[in-house]
Amino acid sequence: MARQWIAVLAFAVVLVLTDAEDAATTPKPKKVLETVMNPAYIPAEEKHGSYWKKSAASTLKSKLKEKTNKNKARNGILFIGDGMSLATVMAARTYAGQLDRGLGEENILEFEKFPVTGLARTYCLDAQVPDSACTATSYLTGVKTKYGVIGLDGNVTRGSCHSQLHKGNWAPSIGQWAIENGLDVGLVTTTRVTHASPAGMYAHVSERNWESDVDVPAECLTLGCRDIAYQLVMDNPGRQFKVILGGGRREFLPNVTGFGNNTGKRVDGVDLTELWHVDKLQKNVSHQYVTDRLELLKVYNSDDLPEYLLGLFNTDHMAYHLKAEDEPTLEEMVEVAIKMLSRNPKGYFLFVEGGRIDHAHHDSLAYLALDETVEYAKAVRKARSLTDESETLIVVSSDHAHTMTVAGYPSRGNDILGVVDTTNGGDGRPYTTISYANGKAASIDTDGLRVDVTKEKGFTERSLDYAYPSLVPLDSETHGGEDVAVFALGPWQHLFTASYDQSVVPHLMAYAMCLTDDQHQNCHQPERLTEAASSAVSVYPYQLLLAQAVISIISCLL
pLDDT at 31: 80
Residue 70 in any domain: the answer is no
pLDDT at 530: 53
Structural domain range at position 214? 82-403+478-513
- What's the CATH number where 260 sits? 3.40.720.10
- Provide the mean pLDDT of the chain: 91
Average pLDDT over residues 522-550: 53
Assign 192 to helix, strand or coil.
strand
Average pLDDT over residues 420-426: 95
Q: Which amino acid is at 544?
A: L
* H or E element that contains 79: strand 75-81
Q: Which amino acid is at 437?
A: A
CA–CA distances in Å: residue 379 to residues 2, 292, 328, 382, 390: 73, 18, 12, 5, 20
Phi, psi of 58 (to 5 degrees): -65, -40
Domain tally for the chain? 1
pLDDT at 545: 45
Residue spans of alpha helices (H) in 363-432? 366-386
Angle at 37 between CA 57 and CA 112, to 5 degrees: 40
- The pTM of the full predicted model, rounded to 2 decimals, is 0.90
Bridge partners (DSSP) of residue 150 are: 205
When pLDDT is cut at 50, 70 and 90, the band that residue 30 belongs to is low
Determine if residue 399 is labeled as part of a ligand binding site.
Answer: yes
Q: Does 552 have pLDDT greater than 80?
A: no
CA distance 321 to 328: 9
Give the burial string for 280-311 (b: 16+ CB within 10 Å, else e). Answer: beeeeeebbbbbebeebeebbeeeebbebbbb
Kind of pairing between the strands at 470-473 and 243-247: unpaired
DSSP state, 525?
P
Determine if residue 180 is labeled as part of a ligand binding site.
Answer: no
Contact 149, 158 (CB under 8 A): yes
Assign 347 to helix, strand or coil.
coil
Residue 187 in any domain: the answer is yes
CA distance 359 to 537: 50
pLDDT at 554: 46
CA distance 382 to 14: 59
- Count other C-beta atoms under 10 Å from residue 45's C-beta: 11
Residue 473 in any domain: the answer is no
pLDDT at 261: 57
Per-residue pLDDT tens digits for 382-399: 999 999 999 999 999 999
- Count other C-beta atoms under 10 Å from residue 427's C-beta: 9
Bridge partners (DSSP) of residue 299 are: none
Residue 440 in any domain: the answer is no
Q: Is 58 a catalytic residue?
A: no
Contact 175, 202 (CB under 8 A): yes
pLDDT at 526: 73
When pLDDT is cut at 50, 70 and 90, the band that residue 407 belongs to is very high
CA distance 355 to 24: 50
Those residues whose C-beta lies under 8 Å from the C-beta of residue 128, and which sit 6 or more positions away, are 481
Question: 505 burial class (0-12, 13-18, 19+ CB within 10 angstroms)?
Answer: buried
Of 182-196, 251-265, 505-519, which range is least confident?
Answer: 251-265
pLDDT at 29: 56
pLDDT at 528: 65
Rg (CA), the chain: 28
Residue 458 in any domain: the answer is no
Residue 19 in any domain: the answer is no
Q: What is the DSSP string of 411-423?
A: PTT--TTSB-SS-
User: Can you say whether the dihedral through the CA atoms of 216, 398, 341, 333 is positive or negative?
Assistant: negative
Average pLDDT over residues 499-518: 97
Average pLDDT over residues 203-224: 97
pLDDT at 12: 46
- Strand order, beta sheet including 348-354: 287-290, 308-312, 243-247, 184-192, 348-354, 75-81, 392-397, 484-489, 116-121, 498-501
When pLDDT is cut at 50, 70 and 90, the band that residue 168 belongs to is very high
When pLDDT is cut at 50, 70 and 90, the band that residue 23 belongs to is very low
H helix and E strand count, the chain: 18, 17
- Strand order, beta sheet including 404-406: 404-406, 434-439, 470-473
Residue 557 in any domain: the answer is no
Determine if residue 362 is labeled as part of a ligand binding site.
Answer: yes
Average pLDDT over residues 502-524: 96
Determine if residue 195 is labeled as part of a ligand binding site.
Answer: yes
Determine if residue 162 is labeled as part of a ligand binding site.
Answer: no
Q: How many CA atoms lie within 13 A of 366 on its CB side?
A: 31
Determine if residue 358 is labeled as part of a ligand binding site.
Answer: yes
Average pLDDT over residues 193-214: 98
Spatial CA neighbour of 158 closest among 220, 66, 245, 95: 220
Q: Catalytic one among 85, 132, 435, 503?
A: 132
CA distance 171 to 140: 9
Average pLDDT over residues 424-445: 95
Q: Does 543 have pLDDT greater than 70?
A: no
Spatial CA neighbour of 313 closest among 332, 338, 285: 332
Average pLDDT over residues 10-25: 43
pLDDT at 65: 94
Q: Does 479 have pLDDT greater than 80?
A: yes
Q: Does 234 have pLDDT greater than 60?
A: yes
Of 117-121, 189-193, 325-329, 529-533, which range is least confident?
Answer: 529-533
Residue 355 in any domain: the answer is yes
pLDDT at 258: 59
Which of the pair, 5 or 272, is modelled with greater confidence?
Answer: 272
CA distance 480 to 362: 11
Per-residue pLDDT tens digits for 46-102: 999 999 999 999 999 999 999 999 999 999 999 999 999 999 999 999 999 999 999
